[in-house]
Amino acid sequence: MRHYYTAQQIKAAEAPLLASLPDGTLMGRAAYGLARVAADELRARTGGVAGRRVTLLVGSGDNGGDALWAGALLRRRGVAVTAMLLDPARAHAAGLAALRAAGGRVSADPGSADLVLDGIVGISGKGPLRPTAAAIVAELDAPIVAVDLPSGVDPDTGAVDGPAVTAAVTVAFGALKPVHALAAARCGRVELVPIGLTLPEADLQALDPWEVGRLWPVPHAADDKYSQGVVGVVAGSGRYPGAAVLSAGAAVTATAGMVRYAGRGAAEVLNHWPEVVAAPSPAEAGRVQAWVVGPGIGTDDAALEELRTVLASDVPVLVDADGLNLLAEHPDLVRHRAAPTLLTPHAGEFERITSVAPTPDRVAATRALAAEWGVTVLLKGRATVIADPTGRAYVNDAGSSWAATAGSGDVLSGIIGALLATGLEPAPAAAAGARAHSLAANLGAREGSDETGDDGLAPISASTLLAHLRSAIRILRVFPSSHVPES
């Protein structure tokens, strides 16, 4: 399990160490780790360390001090180090003295660098880059290693509301912060450097790939098609038959013991998935252990009746797409429903339900809706956020945006519905399903690259994603996290 800690939690954990350890110890640990990662990055990109050029962007806080001390260590390894002091009067005095003693120089010109260390703003900083810093960053063409977080990105929400750094690598000190998942595209690869912090269990977590594999249901000797989970799918209509095909197909592929389809697209579903058992309506479908309702059903009276019937059941229900649009007008159908309920909105659907956009703090917004309605909420995005009514929250960084394609959400609903039918609680089911879904998208984007020797990625469709779902589940179940392709 990966844990993500807020800036306030990190500062509270640092306080006893700062009080008990010799001055500069924590900064020394951070700087040593930063210098090591920077040297590794130089070696990987240029083939060596000595003789290479590194520019430090130095702000007034401790992150600037970390960068200066790391620069001194790199200088001792033969790196030409230049520091740009964005606020010379407030630069970290000891770090600056160490850099100069090692032979580093200070300049107002970043020069031509092989690598840049971003020490402009730390976890105490808020808001975008100031104009001077923004202008410098905009002119850089070297890869950037961010010190703890990319400057200009909010540490707790990952929000960006103006100029900000986009890093190739981010070196996180002591623990991961929400920014490292919520703004992963800004952070690049994240390297964690331990500095001796003692921290409780975090409020925001992410499942590791091997944990998803361990959660995924597999049949045992005494299992039959009923004990492996029977999921009902209400999806599709005359206008959107594909939603039924994708959602039902994902439930089949995600190893549900049986999929019962109840809707207006039975012919299309059976044509693609003959193992599905079809009925004309939820009332006639037979017993299920979980329902998926909403993808492509429309918002007419027939769709509303289907939604009412499903939500009146005593089993877990996942509501997506048109089902969410109907709930925006009829929220009492689901608020504080006795059986577990999972809502899976994208940002637009979230705003229709709540009348408030889920930004800038997507985790807080997701938690608030979950608590107010007594449901679990999965807020879709590159970083998918999941929260249940207790406040427990998960985040899944997809590693790419390949899944941002029409019909992808229909596939996700079917995957998670199959997991709900096996008895998994909504929050871990949603987190596991989101992980498999994003991996399948990344595998689809890589399709053919190994055979041709081409390292390029290609756009995918929801059908491509679904076609790679079985392989994604296999990888999650068999391989450790180091073997799982992220993008």
Binding-site entries: 62-66, 118, 122-128, 148, 151, 243, 296, 346, 380-384, 409-410
Separation between Cα atoms, residue 164 and residue 106, nearest integer Å? 23
Q: Around Cβ 346, how many Cβ atoms within 10 Å?
A: 19
Sequence-ordered list of residues with C-beta below 8 angstroms from that of 451, at least 6 positions apart, any chain:
none
10 and 123 Cβ atoms separated by less than 8 Å: yes
Beta bridge partner(s), residue 317: 291, 341
The DSSP H or E segment spanning 406 is none
Among residues 327, 321, 345, the alpha carbon closest in space to that of 430 is found at 345
133 and 120 Cβ atoms separated by less than 8 Å: yes
SS3 260: strand
Among residues 93, 88, 164, 100, the alpha carbon closest in space to that of 126 is found at 164
Q: Give the total residue count for the chain.
A: 487
Q: Which residues define the annotated binding site for K(+)? A: 63, 118, 151
Please calculate the CA angle 101-146-192 and round it to the nearest 5 degrees.
100
Separation between Cα atoms, residue 475 and residue 470, nearest integer Å? 9
Q: Which residues define the annotated binding site for AMP? A: 380-384, 409
52 and 42 Cβ atoms separated by less than 8 Å: yes
The DSSP H or E segment spanning 259 is strand 258-262
Q: Is 128 left (phi over 0), alpha (psi -120 to 50) or beta?
A: beta
Q: Which residues define the annotated binding site for (6S)-NADPHX? A: 62-66, 122-128, 148, 243, 296, 346, 410
Residue 67: both structure tokens together: 């960068």
Separation between Cα atoms, residue 194 and residue 353, nearest integer Å? 42
Q: What is the DSSP string of 2-34?
A: EEE--HHHHHHHHHHHHHHSPTTHHHHHHHHHH
Query: 191 — phi, psi (to 5°)?
Result: -110, 125
Strand-strand pairing, 290-293 and 317-319? parallel
Among residues 460, 416, 403, the alpha carbon closest in space to that of 320 is found at 416
Beta bridge partner(s), residue 470: none
